[in-house]
Amino acid sequence: MIYNNLKKQDSAVYKAMQGELKRQQEGMELIASENYVSEAVLEALGSVFTNKYSEGYPSHRYYGGQEFTDIAETLAIDRAKKLFGAEHVNVQPHSGAPANMIAYSAVLKPGDTVLGMDLSHGGHLTHGHPVTLSAQIYNFIRYKTDKSGKIDYKELEKMAVKHKPKLILAGFSAYTRQLDYKKFQAIAKKVGAISMFDIAHIAGLIAGKALLNPVPYFDIVTTTTHKTLRGPRGGMIMCKKEFAKAIDKSAFPGFQGGPHMNNVAAKAVAFGEALKPSFKTYAKQILKNAKVLETELKKHGFKLMFGGTDNHMVLVDIFGSKGVTGKEAEEALDKIGITLNKNMIPDDPRSPFDPSGVRIGVPAITTRGMKEKEIRIISKWIKDAIENHKDEKFLKKLHQEVIKLCKRFPIYKNIK
Ligand SMILES: Cc1ncc(COP(=O)(O)O)c(C=O)c1O
């Protein structure tokens, strides 16, 4: 893609875009929720579909001229169904947070009780954190992990019996362990609750068959499409047939207006990519890389929350391991071109602005083609940067090493 028009017409935006391109090409992206989409996905995102209003659903729209938008949306739906074995799919949610809100309002009335995972134990803001709108509308009760770092299903069952939630919610953005779908489903069934799983982080691992598919077990499954699934920034909802009408109505006209059709088309392209055998290899490599990261970081004296990882990321107690705060670690690593995020650890005594932990994920560098050998090098760099976080000269030298490695695994060769 050569952005000649943009370059000529709007040099300010073009310059910012070039800066971001270089940052992505020369930086080591370890934010667990980020990835690099293909150039084909970028082309769909930048397509004429952005001009079109398509309120409604394929064959049932409120505007004319839908012969091609219907093709794109139907492709996205059919491919998602094939990837996840879903009975019903809605590809219109603009992102993960709206997807969750749409799902809640499809099945809940204001004041209804929901059981969701606590943020500091790896859950997500949209699962009932008091700062969110959903927490003002619904009565969220939050469960936690036990001392061993696993979800305590007995405790969860007790809470479900006590609070009688209408909805039991699984899903996480920093929890690194595999969920027991059957146990979860059994608890929901016992108390007559609807079961929902937000698979935003692990959708690509499920699509690539590296993790067990939860879709058959849960009534509703929400996701983002831009993390391990490696699609455009967006959301998606899958559900059993009995919830299909309520979900669709809740998305439109309940919560959103016209779907972003360029985004829907890009989802179709990304799902097409995820259906290819090479995506299975990618998903498996993510798990392998994350395991090496776990082993190496432990070897370097880091304490991993939840005891390790079964997915694409680790949550590290940096403060407990090295006496360096999450914020200090994030800043030191930024200086060497390694991007990750500071993160709360379970029941963190520190503030969310300077917590005890950092979250480290491998989906983006795995897309670049990095494997076990590179993960070992990166793990050592993380240790060295954190242990020498005040030594500017040392960090500067390390930064050159990071750039050198990134250049060996290029991205977006055709974008100028
Ligand atoms: C589990 C989970 N759900 C929902 C979201 C929200 O997605 P978005 O940022 O696309 O609104 C995230 C984002 O990090 C997430 O991790």
User: CB of 215 closer than 6 A to ligand 1?
Assistant: no
Active site residue 233: yes
pLDDT of 123? 85
Answer whether the bond into residue 253 is a cis peptide, omega within 30°.
Answer: yes
pLDDT of 118? 86
User: CB of 171 closer than 6 A to ligand 1?
Assistant: yes
Please write the tens of the pLDDT for every residue from 209-221. 999 999 999 999 9
User: CB of 338 closer than 6 A to ligand 1?
Assistant: no
CATH placement of domain 278-408: 3.90.1150.10
pLDDT of 249? 98
Q: Is the alpha carbon torsion for 119, 121, 123, 127 positive or negative?
A: negative
β-strands 56-57, 60-61 pairing: antiparallel
- Between CA 87 and CA 367 the distance in angstroms is 30
CATH class of 42-274: alpha beta
pLDDT of 384? 98
Q: How many helices, marked H, and strands, marked E, lie in the chain?
A: 17, 15
User: CB of 116 closer than 6 A to ligand 1?
Assistant: no
How far, CA to CA in Å, does 303 sit from each of 5, 62, 296, 351, 360?
Answer: 50, 55, 11, 19, 13
| Alpha helices in 108-219, H assignment, sequence order | 133-137, 153-163, 181-190, 203-207
Please write the tens of the pLDDT for every residue from 79-123. 999 999 999 999 999 999 999 999 999 999 999 999 998 888 878
End-to-end C-alpha distance for the chain, whole angstroms:
6
Active site residue 55: yes
pTM across the whole model: 0.97
Active site residue 374: no
DSSP 358-395: EEEE-HHHHHTT--HHHHHHHHHHHHHHHHTTT-HHHH
Catalytic member of 73, 198, 273, 317:
198
pLDDT of 416? 87
Catalytic member of 227, 230, 240, 267:
227
User: CB of 198 closer than 6 A to ligand 1?
Assistant: yes
Amino acid at 18: Q
Active site residue 371: no
Intervals of CATH 3.40.640.10 along the chain: 42-274
* Interacting residues of 88 by C-beta distance below 8 A, sequence separation 6+: 238, 239, 240, 241, 243, 244, 247
Query: What ligand 1 atom has the least distance to the C-alpha of 234?
Result: 10
Centroid of ligand 1 to alpha carbon of 98 (angstroms):
9
Centroid of ligand 1 to alpha carbon of 393 (angstroms):
37
Tokens of 33: 């929720």
Mutate to test the pocket of ligand 1, among 33, 94, 198, 224 (most ligand atoms within 8 A of CB): 224
User: CB of 201 closer than 6 A to ligand 1?
Assistant: yes
The protein residue whose alpha carbon is closest to atom 13 in ligand 1 is: 96
Intervals of CATH 3.90.1150.10 along the chain: 278-408
User: CB of 124 closer than 6 A to ligand 1?
Assistant: yes
Q: Which burial class, exposed, middle or buried, applies to 325 when counting CB atoms under 10 A from its CB (0-12, 13-18, 19+)?
A: buried
The protein residue whose alpha carbon is closest to atom 7 in ligand 1 is: 96
- pLDDT < 50 regions, the chain: none
Q: Residue with structure tokens 């739906």?
A: 77
pLDDT of 397? 97
| Contact criterion met (CB below 8 Å) for 318 and 356 | yes
pLDDT of 181? 96
Nearest residue to 80 (alpha-carbon basis) of 95, 92, 97 = 92
